[in-house]
Amino acid sequence: MKDYLVLRVIAKLMIPFMLLFALYVQFHGDFGPGGGFQAGVIAAAAIIFYAIIFGLPAARAVVPDRLVETMVASGVLLYAGVGVAGLLLGGNYLDYFVLGRDSVAGQHRGIFWVEVGVLVTVAGVMLKIFYMFAGRDRGEDA
C-alpha cells in the first residue's frame, strides 16, 4: 500500500495523534475511563497501522523485534517489581501504601507504575503477535 498517496498522508497525519491518545488514555486513566490495557492496545494499533501502510520492514525498523520482545517481558517484571518494592519497604506484596511519603502518594506511585507495566506488556504482545502473523509467507508449507 506504499504507493497510495492519500493513505500515506492520512497515516502520517493520524499516527502521532493515535500515539498521543494512547498516552492520554494511559495517564488520564486515574480520572477518566482508560488504563494500561486500553492504552497498550491503542499504541500497538498505531504501530500496526504504520506497518499496514508502509510495510512490515519499515515498522520493524521503527520498533525492532528485539525491543518488542523486551517489552513483552519487562512489563510483567515491572508490575511484579512494584510488588517486590512494597515488600522491601516493609509492606505486603503489592502494598502501595509504603511507596510514598503518605499512603495516598504511595498509592498514586504504585498505580502509576503498575499501569505502565500493563501498557508495556500489552503493547508488546499485540505487536509481537501481529509481527509473527504478518511476517509469515503464504507458502503452501507454511
Provide the minimum distance between the beta carbon of 5 and another protein in the complex, in angstroms, as a whole number. Answer: 23
> Residues in the site for another protein, rule: CB under 8 A?
25, 29-35, 37-38, 41-42, 44-45, 48, 52, 69, 72-73, 75-76, 79-80, 83, 94, 96, 103-105, 107-108, 110-111, 114-115, 117-118, 121-122, 124-126, 128-130, 132-134, 136, 138, 141-142
Write the CB contacts of 97 (distance below 8 Å, at least 6 apart in sequence). Answer: 91, 103, 106, 107
Provide the minimum distance between the beta carbon of 69 and another protein in the complex, in angstroms, as a whole number. Answer: 7
Write the CB contacts of 138 (distance below 8 Å, at least 6 apart in sequence). Answer: none
Q: Which is nearer to another protein, 45 or 63 (CB)?
A: 45
Provide the minimum distance between the beta carbon of 30 and another protein in the complex, in angstroms, as a whole number. Answer: 5
Provide the minimum distance between the beta carbon of 138 and another protein in the complex, in angstroms, as a whole number. Answer: 6
**CA dist., res. 56 & res. 80, Å (int):** 32
Q: Find cell 508488546 and name the residue.
A: 124
Provide the minimum distance between the beta carbon of 103 and another protein in the complex, in angstroms, as a whole number. Answer: 7
Q: Which is nearer to another protein, 14 or 129 (CB)?
A: 129
129-138, long-range: CB within 8 Å, 24+ apart, which pairs?
130/44, 130/48, 130/51, 131/56, 131/59, 131/60, 131/65, 131/68, 134/51, 134/56, 135/56
